Structure 1
Amino acid sequence: MNSLTGNKVTFKEVERSFFEIGCEVAKILMKEFLERLDKDLCKNRNKAELRHKGTRKTSIKTLMGEVPLSRVLYKRFKDDGSTEYVFLLDEELGLDTIGLISPNLVEKVLEHSCEMSYREVSKAVSDFTNQSISHQGVWNIVQAVGEKQEEAEKCMVESFKSNKLSGGSREVPVLFEEADGLWLSIQGKSREKSSKGKKELKIGVIYEGWEKRYPTSKEYKTVEKSAFAGYMKPDEFKSLRDAVVAKKYNVDEIVYRVLNGDGAAWIRNGHDSEMDIFQLDRYHLAKSIIRNVYDKQARRHILRWLKSGEIEKALNKIDSLKYECGGLESEVKKLTNLEDYIKSNIDGIVVYKDRKNVTLPNAPEGMEYRTLGTMERNVNIFAKRMKGGKSWSEKGANNLSKIIALKMEKGFKDKISALISGKLSERLTERFVETISSTQAAVKKTVKKSLYPIHQGQIPFSNCKVTNSRKAIRSMFDLKVFSEMIYR
């Protein structure tokens, strides 16, 4: 990088220096605001309920760095006679939900944690926030927010089961659902309860259809995708899926719910009402044929017959292959496995759009109903972060998976904020707006005083009467820049 001065100071160093100065100023202003806010809370508290127990020093990690401050500790007397120690400032700001870390910093940590290891997140966040955050600190944030999300999901399911969940307002004629599992290596005490050191993470997505990425595009994207994941029992997964649908959509207006999966029992569990349609995932069907049929030409025939609905033809071909292989036990076993797989999912072989007993409603304007099969890409998002030689505790994998699922949806930051952020009261919000406005005005005033206008002079003998002598003087210099002015 080219240096700006003779001392070899680079623009990178200049930028970093001004960034650090800005952070220091912002920390001073935030410290003053928070301490004034704490004084207001102290002044307006219920003194009979909250007893002042002195101030305590602490610091809050923010995007600008650590902000040191002093806040008052209170002893709260409850109605049942018990007591507890609280910080009113923490409760007012919502810091009691996640610890002394600002919501903006939490969002950045979680956003990076969905794609990078905790050590990489620690380094990246430390670099751009002017402070040091350990990888253990990153892990703690992920666990805390993951547990908050799991708690929110459980509350939603409980409300759904007790018919207290307020129904969604979105109305769609067809809803598409996909589910699949991801086997992760397990460590610690959880490994003893797992199968061969691994446990299947359940993942589900819901969407309304497909639309073009942009008007002239040949590529499509799913519309209004919702995602959820975690270590759950089949009944728990079904309940969560139904609760997610009920919360977002007007269920009475849904004509069909199309479920795409690999045929696993936990995916199909409870999906058997009149409006439910199951479709066997085309990727897993083709994968099973390739894995179990030794003859490449026969593979193509079997797959083509299954796609066109000629299932008996495909089964007869599989049966004949058992004899053509000379009764080789390993090949017969593979062909039998494929035969059982097709028969157990025979109702889902034909694509939902090609079924004679299904009359699909028209898709909403701008949307299309296409062949399902987006699940493999969604699973790869989890696999890229959670596989590749990594092993997890059951709790750690469960919490991170819930954060990744949230990030796959729209409004990731808003949803994280809803989990961890408290909202200031109207009075304190007005105080904040007043403080910010006065601070901005003071900064602008200071900057304005530090800047001086540049006085520009006119070219000699311009805008005035030109005599012959003046013409001679002007032609002598020929209006060149001062560095090039010489007598001729």
Structure 2
Amino acid sequence: MNSLTSIGLTFKQLEKIFFEIGCEVARMQLQQFLEAADKELEKGRNRAELRHKGSRTTVIKTLMGEVVVKRNLYKRVKEDGTIEHIFLLDEALGLDTIGNISPNLVEKIVGHACEMSFREVAEAVSGLTGQRISHQGVWDVVQAVGERQVEAEKGLVRAFERNETSGEKEVSVLFEEADGLWLSMQGKSREGSSQGKKELKVGVIYEGWEKRYPSSKEYKTVEKMAFAGYMKPDQFKALRDAAITEKYNVDEIRYRILGGDGAAWIRNGHDTDTDIFQLDAYHLAQSVVRNVSDKQVGRHILRWLKAGDFEKVFDKIQALKYDCGGVESEIDKLTELEEYIRKNMDGIVSYKDREQVVMPKVPAEMEYRNLGTMERNVDIFAKRMKGAKSWSERGATHLSKMIALKMGKGFNDKIAALISGKLSERLVERFEEAIRNTRSGIHEAVRKSAYPMHRGEIPFGNSKVTNGRKAIRRMFDLRPFSEMVYR
């Protein structure tokens, strides 16, 4: 058969071969650009301030594979007399790599780590880029980026406490929900835990709901922000308030509606005139189902609770205690339910049905619905984190912060802000020129090799032989290139 398939190649193999070739060209071009830029920086440096200390070779792991770069090292004496050694190229690139891994590759690693185990991420990245990254290396990346996010959040809270944050966006209503996820702990993190587990705090903030698409019956939250980690209640509240103040003009917020299961750490600090607590309907129903044996009676109790008819509820609970014939376990369960309801009475009736709450006009294409998105949000963390046998507080906090970032908008931009700066103006100009020259050269090479193709040389005829190149050369050995067609 006179076709590509006669040599045993599938399109999948062909695609991979050309992908590897493209990556090889990209690595070469990037190496040449970086080393040329480093030479320019060497020529233009302040020789009195920066003493040349020779060159150093490093390997940067990138989306295209490993790029070997030789760059110059310089010695500089600071104003206080201390000595530091720097790479001008790294400063000009705004490059702050984690384990010599490029920012783009870090973004991919962290993004995958939010959904897959560290071992699975290592296999996926290694298979895609043709370079080996261990699961420990993936863990190191997540911890490094997570630590930077922790520091960024601390900085935001400090700015908030100094009244230095002032958002501009104006909304009348803001919805907040919080819940916890119990994770098994390891080592010293088990100290103070309950049966070896500790509660990871998770919170979300959003402006309302909108349909996923015009004719959809499903809804999604608008402008969601998420935050998570092992924090004390006051730290959780400070981070939540700082995140709100950074984005919104808080003077224009009429109501902050908080949904939760009634835990003290969730309600902590929510006691102003703008705060409205809403007990999570799922947890309320769960408490009734667990503590009322008669399911039909349980449904009646839930209906009365929704209507705010608490007198009927408490009368029925007392009647159930009497009817159970003194069975202590039944009485204990009914008492637990009664205490839970009394503790959270102010949040049981829907905020929309309360006389003292006058909701403002809903923004166009948005709705104010009943709260209850938290279970789904917590499930996102649980699917990734429950699979592990155990966690350290530090490790769980760092990964949870990455998951929280990914749940909001602009994940890649946020990760990039944590790990890389910007090119210097001088390098931007050189980069643009290099790209133009590279594209021009590639276009010219393609034009010459394509017209007429039967006159061109066999690809890679004078190049180093790799497995991919061998396969392509075997293709061209079959017949004249001009006669090769798909059949």
Could you state the TM-score of these two structures normalised by the residue count of structure 1?
0.90
Give the aligned partner of residue 162 of structure 1: 162
Amino acid at match of 1:365: A
Check the 8 A contact 1:94/1:420 in 2, yes or no.
no
Distance 1:316 1:52 in 2: 86
Give the aligned partner of residue 123 of structure 2: 123
CA separation of 1:425/1:389 partners in 2, compared to 1, >3 Å: closer, same or farther? closer
CA separation of 1:389/1:451 partners in 2, compared to 1, >3 Å: closer, same or farther? closer
Distance 1:191 1:49 in 2: 52
Give the aligned partner of residue 413 of structure 1: 412
Distance 2:88 2:291 in 1: 65
Residue correspondence of structure 1 range 52-131 to structure 2 within 5 A: 52-96=52-96, 98-131=98-131
Check the 8 A contact 1:207/1:223 in 2, yes or no.
yes
Distance 2:205 2:148 in 1: 22
The alignment partner of 2:72 has SS state of: strand
Give the aligned partner of residue 42 of structure 2: 42
Task: Encode CA deviations 1:227-266: one digit per residue, 9 max, x unaligned.
Answer: 1101100000000000000001010110000000000000
Distance 2:41 2:400 in 1: 38
Which blocks of at least 5 consecutive residues in structure 1 are unaligned?
456-488
Give the aligned partner of residue 383 of structure 2: 384
Say whether residues 1:225 and 2:224 are aligned partners: yes
Check the 8 A contact 2:93/2:427 in 1, yes or no.
no
Task: Encode CA deviations 1:279-310: one digit per residue, 9 max, x unaligned.
Answer: 10000000011111111111101100000000
Give the aligned partner of residue 243 of structure 1: 242
Distance 2:453 2:130 in 1: 36
Check the 8 A contact 1:52/1:74 in 2, yes or no.
yes
The alignment partner of 1:101 has SS state of: coil
Say whether residues 1:32 and 2:59 are aligned partners: no
The Cα of 1:13 is off from its aligned counterpart by 1.8
Bigger Cα displacement from structure 2, 209-218 vs 80-89: 80-89
Distance 2:384 2:23 in 1: 32
The Cα of 1:196 is off from its aligned counterpart by 1.6
Give the aligned partner of residue 434 of structure 1: 433
The Cα of 1:103 is off from its aligned counterpart by 1.2
Distance 1:359 1:13 in 2: 64
Check the 8 A contact 1:168/1:250 in 2, yes or no.
yes
The Cα of 1:130 is off from its aligned counterpart by 2.0
Distance 2:4 2:193 in 1: 60
Give the aligned partner of residue 134 of structure 1: 134
Task: Encode CA deviations 1:95-125: one digit per residue, 9 max, x unaligned.
Answer: 3352411111111111111110000001111
The alignment partner of 1:184 has SS state of: strand
Distance 2:374 2:414 in 1: 23
Amino acid at match of 2:244: V
CA separation of 1:76/1:43 partners in 2, compared to 1, >3 Å: closer, same or farther? same
Check the 8 A contact 1:92/1:422 in 2, yes or no.
no
Say whether residues 1:333 and 2:332 are aligned partners: yes
Give the aligned partner of residue 473 of structure 1: none
CA separation of 1:90/1:333 partners in 2, compared to 1, >3 Å: closer, same or farther? same
Give the aligned partner of residue 461 of structure 2: none
Check the 8 A contact 2:304/2:312 in 1, yes or no.
yes
Give the aligned partner of residue 471 of structure 1: none
Give the aligned partner of residue 12 of structure 2: 12
Distance 1:451 1:388 in 2: 53
Give the aligned partner of residue 279 of structure 1: 278
Amino acid at match of 1:6: S
Check the 8 A contact 1:95/1:101 in 2, yes or no.
no
Check the 8 A contact 2:111/2:406 in 1, yes or no.
yes
Give the aligned partner of residue 400 of structure 2: 401
Amino acid at match of 1:107: E
The Cα of 1:87 is off from its aligned counterpart by 1.9
Distance 2:197 2:94 in 1: 37
Distance 1:130 1:19 in 2: 11
Distance 1:357 1:391 in 2: 46
Check the 8 A contact 2:202/2:378 in 1, yes or no.
yes
Check the 8 A contact 1:277/1:352 in 2, yes or no.
yes
Identity of aligned residues (%): 69
Distance 1:63 1:350 in 2: 53
Distance 2:194 2:47 in 1: 57
Amino acid at match of 1:7: I
Give the aligned partner of residue 479 of structure 1: none
Give the aligned partner of residue 460 of structure 1: none
Task: Encode CA deviations 1:43-80: one digit per residue, 9 max, x unaligned.
Answer: 23333333221111111000110000111122221111
Task: Encode CA deviations 1:289-340: one digit per residue, 9 max, x unaligned.
Answer: 1111111111101100000000121111112111111111111111111111
Give the aligned partner of residue 203 of structure 2: 204
The count of aligned residue pairs is 452
Bigger Cα displacement from structure 2, 309-318 vs 268-277: 309-318
Runs of 4+ in 1 over 4 A off after TM superposition: none
Which blocks of at least 5 consecutive residues in structure 2 are unaligned?
455-487
Give the aligned partner of residue 307 of structure 2: 308
Check the 8 A contact 2:211/2:220 in 1, yes or no.
yes
The alignment partner of 1:391 has SS state of: coil
Amino acid at match of 2:430: R
Bigger Cα displacement from structure 2, 426-435 vs 36-45: 36-45
The Cα of 1:41 is off from its aligned counterpart by 2.3
Higher relative contact order (Cα pairs below 8 Å, separated by 6+ residues):
2
Check the 8 A contact 1:109/1:138 in 2, yes or no.
yes
The Cα of 1:389 is off from its aligned counterpart by 5.0
